[in-house]
Amino acid sequence: MSEIMAQSQSIVNEEGQSLWADAWFRLKKNHLAVLGLCFLVFEMMLFFGVPLISTVGYEAQNLELTLAAPSFQHWLGTDTLGRDLFQRLLYGGRISLTVGILASLVSAIVGVIYGSVAGFLGGKIDGFLMRVVDVLYALPFIFLVIILMVYFGRNLILLFVALGLTQWLTMARIVRGQVLSLRHKEFIEAAKSLGIRQRKIVLRHLIPNTLGAVIVYLTLTVPSVILEEAFLSYLGLGVQAPMASWGTLIKEGVDVMDQAPWLLFFPALCLSTTLFSLNFLGDGLRDALDPKGAKD
Amino acid sequence: MRRSTLLSCLAFSLGISKLLFATPQVLNIGNGSEPKDLDPHTVTGVPESQIIQNLFEGLVSKDPQTLKPVGGVAESWKVSKDGRTYIFKIRKNAKWSNGDPVTSQDFIFSWKRLLDPQTASEYAYQGYYIRGGRDFNLGKVKDSSQLGLKAPSPETLEVVLENPTPYFLSLLYHHSLYPVHQTTVQKHQMRWTRPENIVSNGPFTLQKWEMNKVISLQKSPHHWDAPQVKLEGVNYYPIEKPETEEKLFQVKKLHVTGTVPTEKIAYWTKDNSGVFRRHPYLGTYFYWMNVTRPPINNKLVRKALALAIDREKLVKFVVKGGQAPAEFFTPPGIGDFHPKALLPKDGSRIAEAKKLLEQAGFPQGKGLPSIEILYNTSDAHKKIAEAIQQMWKENLGVQATLYNQEWKVFLDTQHSHNYMVSRAGWIADYNDPNTFLDMLTTGNGNNHAAWSNTSYDELIAKAAKEKSPQKRNQLFQKAEEILLEELPVLPLYIYTRIYLLSTDVQGWYENVEDVHPLKYVSLK
């Protein structure tokens, strides 16, 4: 935590504050957001660091020690097949966070390109592209994901993509809105009059200007994707055994909550604290990057 | 997403409130899965058979206490001296639920339908006992009048068998030999089992069938034994989660559950209220090995996989219900047959498995593609598969992937051989080892391993003709030996029937075939 603060101060101390430095300065003042950020960094280190040094695998079973209560040997207890819950939580966190981040990135890439093209070109093309978004909006996302999963098979990468592909719609609308308000600004007119190609205008001038809104929305997409993955895993469509995500861990925990409540408690605690952190960070970023919208 | 969950919660609670105001003599049963269909000739599963046994009635019924054949549609029967000809006398008051009399013609129509290649019944081989049944089913004989079935009068049915079959009467309790109503089947074709169309001849009729919610039966006023039937109705709930079943049982919304959550067996064993039921059950839990799929088309790989599973551990720590590890395919004790355990039991088996895998060209599992295990959606099956996955990984270095399918899809996948390894359970249809072993003959509709072995087929055919019970059992033992050498099936454990039964239920008897004719059952 202290290390991050030190870095940030050096940025603040620079002369002539950029948008980013300015935003960082404001974000820092939001204690909840900073707390959320620190927690997430801590979690990431835990998830990706600990499995490297631990000797027990997340899938190693000790059938003679099933549903054991938390102890020195198994910090958070063991599950119905005698697997260490702590290891499974870390591994599950890795999957859940990776799903969350990758799917959000997929949604961002598709959404930003789609939205900026629609907004910049305008007219009939815009109308057509946005009607497509409207139609897709009307489809229940879960059916879309299930069809994609069934059609392309059970594959973790595809799960990321499928979730991302159902998340880009709102992103596309937000970006389009931003681009619509930007496209008649002077600097775009200037770029046009200089004869710069359309593609370059979109990539160089429009997209960077929408990034604030995009990043804010991204932090809100991550938690919703994590929840959707949990939901899919609950239905048996998410990650496959012996892999675990927080969703599958919670599902398994619910079944044995009478005998081993810790199997439900710890995964649920992890999921909810992470979602809180992401939401706090998202709120903080919104206030920091978009001062005008902070009051609503 | 959230709204839809909320809606389904609402629908669920409405369903529960319906249960709450159910009338007294209505039995509520947890039936596991949504049945594939209710056509006696095309279904193969236990959830389906549970319902069909009470919707329809065969020539012969079973006494739930002794499992001896008692009069069903037939009030009496005579067997010829050579044991090949059966003459059944059908009750005059045996009626369909629309009031039509049940006649010998109904049975001839139904059994021809079972054997008709166009029906594509997986259970068609249950009709092979009838003379000419096999040839007709395989299309070698087109003329159905060649079958050993005769109806001298509407009340008399004469059946000539291929071989003298001592268990033929108990076979008649199986749903594949139940009668169906000719005009209804011909008129409505595929849709004849819908509640608005169906005509059945059992003690109950189908009143309501709500997909994934409930199947309701109602007492049939036309049934010949209607005065004996005490229940007004039966509701079958397709609840896949044992935890949900258990909760519904505890709040008295179910009288009988399909099973008990694995982790709660220890708890229920200590319970003194008398609702916990555990008794032997003639069934084997095993994995089908699709012998057409590489890499398990290799016998050595199959054997290595079979040896690498520690069944004792699996039963003790994963299944937990006091089941017996299966070192053979046929459950011991069925028809006085006790198969010998052939897979070595001691620690040498892992070393042996490793050696076999090396011989097959996959030392330490290197180069072996991932083994895909299919199971029907259930946490209990998942847990077992995960334990096996880990045993294969630790003992052999073999990777396995798991995937699950809903019951109906699962049955189709098995039937079309579109899997590598698939979870299965086989329950005795009658008390004879043949019910397990003839399933694996070449081309049998339930042989989901697509396995074929001529010497095995010969042994089963020989056993069918053998009169001496000792010699017959020897033939079955030889057949078992071939099975455990070739391993188209990978036996895991012998079932124990475990469920919860309300103390309000009377006339419910424990038996190894888990047969519970509801016409004897009543509620306190």
Task: Test A241 with B379 for CB contact under 8 angstroms.
Answer: no
**And the tokens for B356?**
């076999």
Interface test with A, best of B3, B263, B268 (most A CBs within 10 A): B263
Banded pLDDT at A292 (limits 50, 70, 90): low
Q: Could you tell me the two tokens for B385?
A: 């598969």
Of B231, B177, B227, residue with least CA distance to B204: B231
Inter-CA distances, A95 with A218, A230, B149, Å: 18, 11, 63
Q: Check if A261 contacts B (Cβ < 8 Å).
A: no
Nearest CA in chain B to A59: B390
Give the per-residue pLDDT at A82. 86
pLDDT tens column, B461-502: 999 988 888 999 999 999 999 999 999 999 999 999 999 999
Whether residue B389 and residue A240 make contact (CB cut-off 8 A), yes or no, is no
Q: Does B379 sit within 8 Å of A255, measured CB to CB? A: yes
Instruction: Please say whether the beta carbons of B40 and B176 come within 8 A.
Output: yes
pLDDT, tens digit (0-9, with 9 covering 90-100), for B365-381? 888 999 999 999 888 89
Number of other CB atoms surrounding residue A77 within 10 Å: 21
Q: Which residue in B397, B434, B408 sits closest to B170, CA to CA?
A: B434
- H or E element in which residue B494 lies: strand B489-500
Predicted pLDDT of residue B244 = 92
Give the pLDDT confidence score for residue B125 in this predicted structure.
Answer: 92
Given pLDDT bands bounded at 50, 70 and 90, which one contains residue A53? confident
Residues of chain B contacting A142 with CB distance shorter than 8 Å: 1, 4
Please count the residues of chain B.
524
Nearest by CB to residue A241, choosing from B1, B318, B402, is B402
Distance from CA of B193 to the nearest CA of A (A): 30
Q: Three-state DSSP class for B80?
A: coil
Q: Is residue A131 part of a domain?
A: yes
Structure tokens at B519: 């016409």
Q: Residue B167 burial (CB < 10 Å; 0-12/13-18/19+)? A: middle
Judged by CB atoms closer than 8 Å, whether chains meet at A259 and B267 is answered as: yes
Q: What is the pTM of this model?
A: 0.83
Nearest to B29 by CA among B46, B12, B11, B50: B50
Is there a domain that residue A12 lies in?
A: no
Q: Tell me the percentage of chain B whose pLDDT exceeds 90.
A: 72
Is the CB of A62 inside 8 Å of chain B's CB atoms?
no
| Gyration radius of chain B's alpha carbons | 23
- How does pLDDT run across B128-137, given as a tens digit for each residue? 999 999 999 9
Task: Convert the pLDDT of each residue in A250-259 to its tens digit.
Answer: 888 888 888 8
Six-digit token string for B339: 């198969």
A64, part of any domain: no
Please check the confidence at residue A78 and state whether its pLDDT lies above 80. yes
* pLDDT higher than 80, residue B23: no
Q: Which residue of B has its CA nearest to A67?
A: B263
More confident residue, B384 or B339: B384
Distance (Å) from the alpha carbon of B459 to chain A's nearest alpha carbon:
40
Q: Does A63 touch chain B (CB under 8 A)?
A: yes
**What are the pLDDT digits (tens) for B288-331?**
999 999 889 999 999 999 999 999 889 999 998 889 999 899 99
Does residue A59 sit at the B interface (CB-CB below 8 Å)?
yes
Enumerate the β-bridge partners of residue B153.
B156
**Is the ipTM beyond the 0.85 threshold?**
no
Chain A residue with minimum CA distance to B265: A259
Q: How far apart are CA B239 and CA B190, in angstroms?
A: 26
Could you tell me the pLDDT band of residue A126, with boundaries at 50, 70 and 90? Answer: very high
| pLDDT of res. A66 | 82
Q: How far is B318 from chain A (nearest CA, A)?
A: 7
Q: Which residues on chain A are in Cβ contact (under 8 Å) with B313? A: 63
Q: How far is CA B107 from the centre of its chain?
A: 22
Radius of gyration from C-alpha coordinates of chain A: 22
Is the distance from CB of A58 to CB of A90 less than 8 angstroms?
Answer: yes
Q: Measured between CB atoms, does B372 come within 8 Å of chain A?
A: no
- Give mean pLDDT, residues A13-29: 72
Each residue's pLDDT tens digit, B510-524: 988 889 999 999 998
* Least Cα separation, residue B414 to chain A (angstroms): 18
Q: Would residue A115 count as lying in a domain? A: yes
* pLDDT band per the 50, 70, 90 thresholds, residue A226: confident
Q: Each residue of A207-224: pLDDT tens digit?
A: 888 877 888 888 888 888
Give B12's pLDDT tier (boundaries 50, 70, 90). low
The number of domains in chain A is: 1
Q: Which of B14-28, B55-69, B116-130 has the lowest mean pLDDT?
A: B14-28
List CB contacts (< 8 A) between A146 and chain B.
Answer: none
pLDDT, one tens digit per residue, over B59-85 is: 999 998 988 899 999 999 999 999 899
A2 part of a folded domain: no
Closest CA to B52 of B234, B289, B263, B185: B234
Secondary structure, 3-state, chain A: CHHHHHHHHHHHCCCCCCHHHHHHHHHHHCHHHHHHHHHHHHHHHHHHHHHHHCCCCCCCCCCCCCCCCCCCCCCCCECCCCCEHHHHHHHHHHHHHHHHHHHHHHHHHHHHHHHHHHHHHCHHHHHHHHHHHHHHHHCCHHHHHHHHHHHHCCCHHHHHHHHHHCCHHHHHHHHHHHHHHHCCCHHHHHHHHCCCCHHHHHHHHHHHHHHHHHHHHHHHHHHHHHHHHHHHHHHCCCCCCCCCCHHHHHHHHHHCCCCCCHHHHHHHHHHHHHHHHHHHHHHHHHHHHCHHHHHC
Spell out which residues of chain A touch residue B386, defining contact as CB-CB under 8 Å.
61, 81, 241-242
CB B122 within 8 A of CB B44: yes
Q: Per-residue pLDDT averaged across B222-246, rounded?
A: 93
Report the gap between the CA of B299 and the closest CA in chain A (Å). Answer: 27
Instruction: Please say whether the beta carbons of B37 and B119 come within 8 A.
Output: no
CB-CB under 8 Å, B387 with A59: no
Q: Does B119 lie at the interface with A, CB-CB under 8 angstroms?
A: no
Residue A218 in any domain: the answer is yes
Write out chain A residues lying below 8 Å of B7, CB-based. none
Structural domains for chain B: 26-225+501-523 (3.90.76.10), 280-496 (3.10.105.10)
Q: Which domain holds residue A145?
A: 19-51+82-288
- Distance of alpha carbon A245 from alpha carbon B153, whole angstroms: 67
Kindly state the helix (H) or strand (E) to which residue B493 belongs, with its residue range: strand B489-500
Q: Is the pLDDT of residue B144 over 90?
A: no
pLDDT of residue B499: 95
**Is A194 touching B (CB cutoff 8 A)?**
no
* Interface contact B364, partner A, CB < 8 A: no
Q: Using one digit for the tens of pLDDT, what is the confidence trace for B388-433?
A: 999 999 999 999 998 888 888 899 999 999 999 999 999 999 989 9
What confidence tier does A14 reach under pLDDT thresholds 50, 70, 90?
very low
Q: How wide is the angle at C-alpha B146 spanned by C-alphas B141 and B148, nearest 5°?
A: 125
- Each residue's pLDDT tens digit, A231-249: 877 666 777 777 888 888 8
Q: What is the CATH number of the domain that holds A99?
A: 1.10.3720.10
Q: Decide if A3 is inside a domain.
A: no
* Contact by Cβ (8 Å): B149, B131: no
State the pLDDT at residue A236: 66
Quick one: pLDDT at residue A17? Answer: 62
What is the Cα–Cα distance from B109 to B100, expressed in whole angstroms? Answer: 15
Region B267-278 average pLDDT: 91
Of A63, A80, A242, the CB nearest to B263: A80
Q: What integer best gives the mean pLDDT of chain B? A: 90
pLDDT-based confidence at A270, cuts 50/70/90?
very high
Residue B169 has pLDDT above 70, yes or no: yes
Chain B residue whose CA is closest to A60: B390
Q: Is A144 on the interface with B (CB under 8 A)?
A: no
**Average pLDDT of the residues in B149-174:** 92
Q: Which of B377, B386, B401 sits opposite A81 (nearest CB)?
A: B386
E-assigned strands of B178-319? 204-210, 214-219, 233-237, 276-289
In a domain, A58, yes or no: no
Which are the contacts of A104, defined by CB distance < 8 A and separation ≥ 6? A164, A167, A218, A221, A222, A225
Chain-chain contact of A255 with B404 (C-beta, under 8 angstroms): no
